[in-house]
Structure 1
Amino acid sequence: MSDTIKLKPYEYIHVLDEDTNITRLFVGPLTYLKQHNEKVVDGPKQMILVGPRQYCVIENPVVIEDNEPVLDENGQVLLKYGEKEIRFESNEKFPLYPGEKLLGSVLKLQTVQPQQALRLKAIQDFKEKINDVIVERKAGTEWYFEGPGTYIPNIRVQVLETVKAVFIEESSALKLTALSTFTDGEVTRKAGEIWLETKEGFYLPKVEEKVLGLVKGFVLTDRKALHLKARSTFVDKFGKKRKAGNEWLVTKQETEYYIPGVFEDVVREVPLVILNDMQYCVVLNPVIDGKQHFGKKQLRKGEATLFLASWRIAEQWTGKNEQKELEHDTDMNNENKEKKKKDKKVSKVRRTPGERWMVHGPRRYIPPVAVQLLERRAAIPLHKDEGVYVRDLRTGLIRTVIGETYMLKPYEELWEKELTSVVEKLINIDVDPTITRGGIQPDQMEAPQRDKTRVVTFQIPNNSAVQIYDYKEKTARVQFGPDLVMLEPDEDFTVLSLSAGRPKIGHQVKAIALLLGPDFSTDLVTVETSDHARLNLKLQYAWRFEVNKDIKEESTKIFQVPDFIGDMCKAIGSRIRGSLIRKAVFGVDKKTGHVRDRLEFKANNLIVTDIDIQTVEPIDEETRLSLQKSVQLAISITTQSQEADARHEALKKSTESQGKLEIQQLEDEIEAETTRQTLYQQQADCKSIETAGKAKAQAKAKSEAAVIQGESKVNQATLTTTAEEIEDKIKLDFSKEKNSAEFEHKKQMNLLEIDFAKEMSQIYSKKFKEIVTLIGPETLEIMSQSELLNKAELLEGLNLNGYLIADAKKPVNLIKTANSLLGDKR
């Protein structure tokens, strides 16, 4: 059995003979009869065409001799196994022999643009001819194929990358390093060496070079310099030797733009410092006469200009400082940091390190290098109710200065007085500091900011007192309001912690000012009756303080009890629980036997003048329930009786209202029926009237419409005629006016032209007369003979008496010629 395979043009197949194990190539156009022992192992496939500027890579290429493949003794084509072959442009397609492989596809030749190059590497030893020169390439050698051009690939060469040239501008350089030792012209570069390429234009790095980056140059101006630091010892472009770690400045005086070298680091760009006559600066580590003095300071005063690098910045001030223009009541506090003897012409005062002094205004002041400026002070104006705390730095003593304009001394400073958070809030809130109206709860309020150097003041309300304790002297003083209290450095307020609520709970209210009364306080007291019924009594006390303000012991006595509200309520409650309220509270006067009218607390002179029971509530639950039941029963009986009366009254009123309603309904129905009958009669009458009126109206309307229509047509005709007559008359009048106007216009134009002609003729005649008069008759005679005289003189000058000159285009007037020859001057 056999198969027929038809191959088209430019198609091929590989057929394996299974008996001989030989693979053969068959190329179309062909009709191939495949035998039973043959097998198609590849194809049919299209032949390969390599076009212009294209190439392909063949693996295991066939051996060719005399343009024919070489066969072995068995008829199998010989191949170069393990090798590759590049095939370029061909005019014909070609097939692949058995064993050959196409790597990839047909590729385009690579074009290298200008300022570009291909980096190549030899993977085998080979020789190539370049410009009639044989060049030997060793495996591992790298070189460039520079553009512009088309690169022809070589099977022994590997393309590593495309390298582009770098453009070097005028103020920049290319930083390069050597990958291996090589010779660049007359310069030998060692492996690892770094240098700068500064030549302007495009630069293509060599194979042995690696680009580290593009270094931008710095443009230097009159106001900008460059601060550099040496990375290692070298000689710079100005011929100066720089050691590792050295720092220096490059200014415009040396070069207009500077490109840092490979051994230089740019620290920063340094701006120009300009000092006017009111400015100065302190320079650290100054450069004097080209030499730097480390650890030294130098004062530079304005007017001046200088560059300060980072290692020359002033220690205390950065950049420039203003001269201190001191005014009245203004001082400069200075501290000497080292021994400094002032200018002998100014003063002979010797300052020691750590000493402080003041420079008083008005004046200008520039602190020397050895002097540290601490602060600028101004006089503090104080009202009579204002003050400040001042501390002496040498002794540590603190004092108050009140009611004067004060300037701190050199060894003085303002001291801040600290207060507790409760006192901070209480002295700044603007509320009534009474304890019987709820008091002040400072924990719920925010304390405003206070200048702690100012003397603490507190306005004592009227009819109240404040206790101030001196921790240094261990004494207390009491001041009564209205008054303003001012605390000394070692003084503080006594804070009262009072009870509040019903029943009273301790430490609920904080207060500084103690109200002297009279005022009221309420409390809830639990008592038990003789029949063992427990009741809650809501009591209200009227109280006040009785104190002699002139006696110190009496004044301080009112603050002996910190929580007088709680103690008062407890004492009165204990008495109430023992017996009758007023008798128990106030007691009985032994002389008169009557109940006293007040209760005195001698501990703090607190007087209770009255007591009142506001409410009484039983505490025992059974007693309360019994009272509630009896009250509820009484309320229920009363409510039921009222409800029965209300129901009876309501039923009576409802029955009467129902009877009246039914009578009214009957009367309304009779009246409605009578009204309905009258309505029907009126509707019938209206219908008949409406029908008759409608017919009459229609007839009358038609007749009136006809009359109106006839009259309107007559009026319309009359108006049309009138309008036409008016229109014709207007047209006639318009035509007459137009003709009259045109006639008048033409008449005026003719008159104007006549006048214009007359005036122009007069002007021309006058002009001609004046010209003739001016020229004169003799001149006119000469002008009339000038042409003949010129001709005669011309002929006389040429010595011509009887010659005739003419051309063929013009006829000759012999009569005039004869006259001319005869001398006729007509």
Structure 2
Amino acid sequence: MPRQNISCLSDNIFTLTLTVVCVENRRSLTVNTGLRLKALQTLVDVNGVKRLAGEEWLLTGEEQDEYYPQIGVEVVSSENRVVLRSGQFCVVLDPVDKKFKPQFGRRELRKGCSSFFLHPGEKIEKGIQSSFVLSEDEAIIVVAREEFKDTNLQGKSVVRKCGERWMIYGPVEYIPCIEVEVIDKRKQIPLSKNEGIYVQDIKTGKVRSIMGPESYMLKSYEHLWEKPLDPIVEELLRNGGGTGSGDIRKIAYFEQSVDPQFLKGRNKTRVVTYRCPGNTAVQVNDYLDKTARVVFGPDLAILGPHENFSVLSLSAGKPKKPDAMKSLCLMLGPDFISDELEVETSDHARLRLKIAFNNHFEYEKGNTESEAKVFAVPDFIGFASRQVGSKIRAAVALVPFDEFHRHSAQVIQHAVFKDTTTGSMLDYLKFEANNLVVTSIDIQSIEPVDRKMSDSLTKSIQLAIEISTNSVEAAAQHEAMRNEQEAKGYLERQMLTNEKESEKERCKLVELKAITAAVESTGQAKAEAQAQAERVIIECESEIEAARLRAKALEIEHYAKLESQNMVRRGEIDFAKSQDDLELYREKSLADIEVKRFSDMVKALGADTLAAIATAGPDTQVKMLASLGLESTLITDGNSPINLFMTAEGLVKTGHMQ
């Protein structure tokens, strides 16, 4: 607002000074906008309501279209209308009552379709939310924040206690009331055959497994339970049930049991399953009941919440090394085990044997003791290799090298399958500790460990091979000489036949050359004449085409010059027109600016101020003449009247100059 300063120059002369403190802009309000105002002092607002200092209120476009700033009122912020579409809701904290007084601690639910302004002190809890649209296979879990009366899906009135949990099933569109809080959203879990989940009851803590085929919806007091597994079991399941170095033969057997879900990462809430290969057995231990069960393949082993697999640590390699392979399944056979042994004969010749023996397990399905006995020896491979190796070493130590070299198979067969009590030969060897049966044994190779003995054996073998090779070489040489003579006779006959045929073909060639020469001479003359005629035709057509193109080029050049002249003239006309329009716009703008300046000056000074300025001069002059004893009349000589007002103004100016 302009500030007015009035100072007195003399007893009857005053000077008016205006100072602009600040400039406030008019605020336009629409239906969807409003202003949050704050009173800096106690006053009455534009609507005639008394406002105390510090009080805040809301002015919307529904009350007035424009707002002019009021002294003592501060515009805190601009507010927009909050719009709730269909299916949306929000909770307003500390809502105002009908007298616009905030109700602290209260919460109010507002649903769409609706719109409103937030009054000072009101806040929206968690923003604008969408309603819960539940399909047939979805549900939500809600908990009561305070005790209230509710209506269930059957339309009956139910009293909900504070902290009570219950579920709301679809299909439904649900907007929670202010006494209810949504804590989780559930969806039915589809389970196919041999699929399952682990579910824990949060009231009792009991964990159970739910198996398909079915679609299961978790209850309000249930949640998915993550089953922990040992890292070694996790690795074995990813590799199909066995781990070890790549040269172990049995590792390839586990590839058929690799489950893709373990390669991507196990979902710990899903029931753990393992596909047992054929002719294998898997032992599952229940640590809660302290029992064990055996699953025979091909079958699917399913772990309960408190069950886990028995991990077998087996020997592997040649010679056998303990703990070289980890496995979940035990191979029941028929299978074979290969090993490498070092034996020593009675004459102290040390030999290296490579053997392989067939094996299988004897068991009775359904008999718990018989099934458990199969797993009585964890490392059955190392156990069998050690037992068979000890028998072979003992038997070889009783015979000399020469006898063992000639009758190695009989010595080893007697060592493994001979009954020590009766002395008779058995058809198999059975280990009572785990019912493992060895049915046959094969000697793959026998090599001396001593280098000198190995060299002497190599020399004797090489000598025998050399004698055999020489005899075969002599027979082959004789046969080659005979074949060579036969081939020479056949070659000479073939050369004579070829010469005869070549003479016949040479005669035909001479005849064809003569015919070709005649055709060539005739064709050359014809081709030259035809080429000359075509050359003349092409030259004429080229001249005609060149003349046509020259005429077309002249036409194009003429039209191009004409077009360029037209473009120059149009450009000059457009330039002159744009200059005229610009000058006209400039004059119009200057006139508008001058009119606006004069109008703004008049509005700034006000009608009362202008009237005071207009009458200030004459009033002063009248008072001055009155002080000199003159009247406000016109002094004239009859020809040129003199205005005493102007004379007074001159007197005043002369007085100031003096």
Shift of 1:612: 0.8
Give the Cα–Cα distance (whole angstroms) in 2 for the partners of residues 470 and 570 of structure 1.
32
Give the Cα–Cα distance (whole angstroms) in 2 for the partners of residues 647 and 435 of structure 1.
47
Give the Cα–Cα distance (whole angstroms) in 1 for the partners of residues 189 and 350 of structure 2.
68
Partner amino acid, structure 2, of 1:576: I
Shift of 1:334: 1.0
Superposed counterparts of 1:152-551, under 5 Å:
186-187=18-19, 189=21, 195-196=22-23, 198=25, 222=31, 225=33, 251-253=60-62, 270=80, 272-276=82-86, 278-289=87-98, 290-307=100-117, 314-315=124-125, 317-322=126-131, 324=133, 327=136, 331-342=139-150, 347=157, 349-352=159-162, 354-360=163-169, 365-379=174-188, 385-402=194-211, 406-424=216-234, 426-427=236-237, 436=250, 438-440=252-254, 447-551=263-367
Cα deviation, 1:57-100, whole Å, max 9, x if unaligned, reads: xxxxxxxxxxxxxxxxxxxxxxxxxxxxxxxxxxxxxxxxxxxx
Match of 1:576 in 2: 392
Match of 2:418 in 1: 587
Give the Cα–Cα distance (whole angstroms) in 2 for the partners of residues 227 and 644 of structure 1.
121
Against the structure 1 CA distance between its residues 640 and 343, is the aligned structure 2 distance closer, same or farther, given a 3 Å change threshold?
closer
Against the structure 1 CA distance between its residues 249 and 185, is the aligned structure 2 distance closer, same or farther, given a 3 Å change threshold?
farther
Contact 2:84 2:111 in 1 (8 A): no
Shift of 1:185: 6.0
Partner amino acid, structure 1, of 2:412: I
Contact 1:435 1:515 in 2 (8 A): no
Give the Cα–Cα distance (whole angstroms) in 2 for the partners of residues 368 and 601 of structure 1.
74
Partner amino acid, structure 2, of 1:366: I
Against the structure 1 CA distance between its residues 333 and 502, is the aligned structure 2 distance closer, same or farther, given a 3 Å change threshold?
same
Match of 1:562 in 2: 378
Alignment partner of 1:377: what SS? strand
Cα deviation, 1:598-642, whole Å, max 9, x if unaligned, reads: 222222111111111122222222222223333344445555666
Cα deviation, 1:753-795, whole Å, max 9, x if unaligned, reads: xxxxxxxxxxxxxxxxxxxxxxxxxxxxxxxxxxxxxxxxxxx
Give the Cα–Cα distance (whole angstroms) in 2 for the partners of residues 236 and 565 of structure 1.
101
CA RMSD of aligned residues (A): 5.3
Match of 1:724 in 2: none
Give the Cα–Cα distance (whole angstroms) in 2 for the partners of residues 622 and 227 of structure 1.
110
Match of 1:782 in 2: none
Against the structure 1 CA distance between its residues 502 and 376, is the aligned structure 2 distance closer, same or farther, given a 3 Å change threshold?
same
Partner amino acid, structure 1, of 2:447: E
Give the Cα–Cα distance (whole angstroms) in 1 for the partners of residues 352 and 56 of structure 2.
94
Shift of 1:306: 2.5
Contact 1:436 1:520 in 2 (8 A): no
Cα deviation, 1:180-207, whole Å, max 9, x if unaligned, reads: xxx9963364xxxxx44649xxxxxxxx
Question: Among the aligned pairs, what percent are the same residue?
Answer: 41
Partner amino acid, structure 1, of 2:168: V
Give the Cα–Cα distance (whole angstroms) in 2 for the partners of residues 595 and 282 of structure 1.
92
Shift of 1:324: 4.5
Alignment partner of 1:576: what SS? helix
Match of 1:28 in 2: none
Shift of 1:554: 1.7
Of Structure 1 and Structure 2, which has the larger fraction of its residues in helix? 2
Contact 1:230 1:242 in 2 (8 A): no
Partner amino acid, structure 2, of 1:541: F
Give the Cα–Cα distance (whole angstroms) in 1 for the partners of residues 167 and 490 of structure 2.
113
Match of 2:541 in 1: none
Match of 1:618 in 2: 448
After superposing the two structures, state which structure 1 stretch, 460-469 or 538-547, moved more: 460-469
Shift of 1:544: 1.0
Against the structure 1 CA distance between its residues 443 and 510, is the aligned structure 2 distance closer, same or farther, given a 3 Å change threshold?
farther
Contact 1:284 1:296 in 2 (8 A): yes
Shift of 1:516: 1.8
Give the Cα–Cα distance (whole angstroms) in 2 for the partners of residues 587 and 248 of structure 1.
109
Contact 1:588 1:596 in 2 (8 A): yes
Match of 1:737 in 2: none
Against the structure 1 CA distance between its residues 589 and 233, is the aligned structure 2 distance closer, same or farther, given a 3 Å change threshold?
farther
Contact 2:133 2:171 in 1 (8 A): no
Of Structure 1 and Structure 2, which has the larger fraction of its residues in strand? 1
Superposed counterparts of 1:727-738, under 5 Å:
none
Against the structure 1 CA distance between its residues 312 and 624, is the aligned structure 2 distance closer, same or farther, given a 3 Å change threshold?
farther
Shift of 1:373: 0.7
Partner amino acid, structure 1, of 2:93: L
Partner amino acid, structure 2, of 1:455: V
Contact 1:516 1:545 in 2 (8 A): yes
Alignment partner of 1:583: what SS? helix
Give the Cα–Cα distance (whole angstroms) in 2 for the partners of residues 463 and 305 of structure 1.
73
Against the structure 1 CA distance between its residues 609 and 671, is the aligned structure 2 distance closer, same or farther, given a 3 Å change threshold?
closer
Give the Cα–Cα distance (whole angstroms) in 2 for the partners of residues 501 and 595 of structure 1.
30
Superposed counterparts of 1:775-814, under 5 Å:
none
Match of 1:44 in 2: none
Give the Cα–Cα distance (whole angstroms) in 2 for the partners of residues 188 and 363 of structure 1.
64
Partner amino acid, structure 2, of 1:291: K
Partner amino acid, structure 1, of 2:223: E
Partner amino acid, structure 2, of 1:587: K
Match of 2:399 in 1: none
Shift of 1:422: 4.5
Give the Cα–Cα distance (whole angstroms) in 2 for the partners of residues 604 and 546 of structure 1.
9
Shift of 1:476: 1.5
Against the structure 1 CA distance between its residues 310 and 394, is the aligned structure 2 distance closer, same or farther, given a 3 Å change threshold?
farther
Shift of 1:284: 2.9
TM-score by length of 2: 0.58
Partner amino acid, structure 2, of 1:447: L
Structure 1: runs of 5 or more not aligned: 1-182, 190-194, 200-216, 699-826
Give the Cα–Cα distance (whole angstroms) in 1 for the partners of residues 464 and 44 of structure 2.
120
Give the Cα–Cα distance (whole angstroms) in 1 for the partners of residues 253 and 500 of structure 2.
79
Contact 2:284 2:307 in 1 (8 A): yes
Q: Which has the higher contact order (CA 8 A, sep 6+)?
A: 2
Match of 1:778 in 2: none
Give the Cα–Cα distance (whole angstroms) in 2 for the partners of residues 259 and 558 of structure 1.
97
TM-score by length of 1: 0.47
Partner amino acid, structure 1, of 2:165: R
Contact 1:325 1:362 in 2 (8 A): yes
Alignment partner of 1:577: what SS? helix
Against the structure 1 CA distance between its residues 313 and 499, is the aligned structure 2 distance closer, same or farther, given a 3 Å change threshold?
farther
